[in-house]
Amino acid sequence: MKNKFIVAAVAILFVGLFIAAADLYNNQKNSSLNSATLENIEYIQRDYSPTLGPVDAKVTIVEFFDPACGTCRSFYPLVKRIMSENEGRVNLVLRYLPLHNGSDVIITIFEAARLQGLFWETLKLAYKRQDAWVVNHISIPAKLWGQLDGIGLDMDKLAVDMKSVEIARRVKQDLADAKQLKVNKTPGFFVNGKPLINFGYKQLQQLVASEIDEQYP
């Protein structure tokens, strides 16, 4: 009987130690993550990036994307759904990470369209017709160009603005920031500076919900 008591006591002690160790690990992990977030915050968000949603929202989703990325296309309406479900509390900032051949040129089209106030319309159209201008994982700018009718773009102005030095600088900065943050695939998400480590829609929902609970108690 005494031996059984000792065994049970030892088992309880080990369970307690395991739980304490797990809590310590998670606390250290969260502390490390928060420290890394603070160190990298300047690379996560830039004031020149396209932004959708209220500027005073307390929760910001930053997405590094490639316009030729099929998963980016699939996630776009899902991210907008998250924003709709949390109206007024969440905004979206897009950063460029052109990993497919030719995507850098597509991005210059987007940025030139932004100078005409038609960035989001151009993005929506490009995603809708992605299969027409992405061939064997290669972006074909000429094929997208032929799809741009009907949204009000001045195509002559677009062609001139695509050569902007400022647009080239922004794309270069986004690439450098992605490298600094070790984002090497798209889409790559951050929520209030915290990276989405385990990729998935539910995981993104949970990370956003956690930040909303913290920012809107």
Q: What are phi and psi of 70, to 5 degrees?
A: -65, -35
pLDDT band at 39 (very low <50, low <70, confident <90, very high): confident
- The whole-angstrom separation of Cα 49 and Cα 9 is 59
Q: Mean pLDDT throughout 126-139?
A: 97
- Is domain 48-215 in CATH 3.40.1010.10, yes or no? no
pLDDT band at 37 (very low <50, low <70, confident <90, very high): low
Residue range 137-162, pLDDT digits in tens: 999 999 999 999 899 999 999 999 99
Q: Is the pLDDT of residue 4 over 70?
A: no
Q: Is the pLDDT of residue 8 over 70?
A: no
Q: What residues form DSSP beta bridges with 139?
A: 134
Distance set, CA 7 to CA 4, 10, 11, 15 (Å): 5, 5, 6, 12
Residue the block writes with tokens 């539910």: 202
Residue the block writes with tokens 């102005």: 157
Residue the block writes with tokens 């790559």: 188
In the chain, the amino acid numbered 160 is V
Q: Is the pLDDT of residue 27 over 80?
A: no
Q: Is the pLDDT of residue 63 over 70?
A: yes
Q: Is the pLDDT of residue 42 over 70?
A: yes
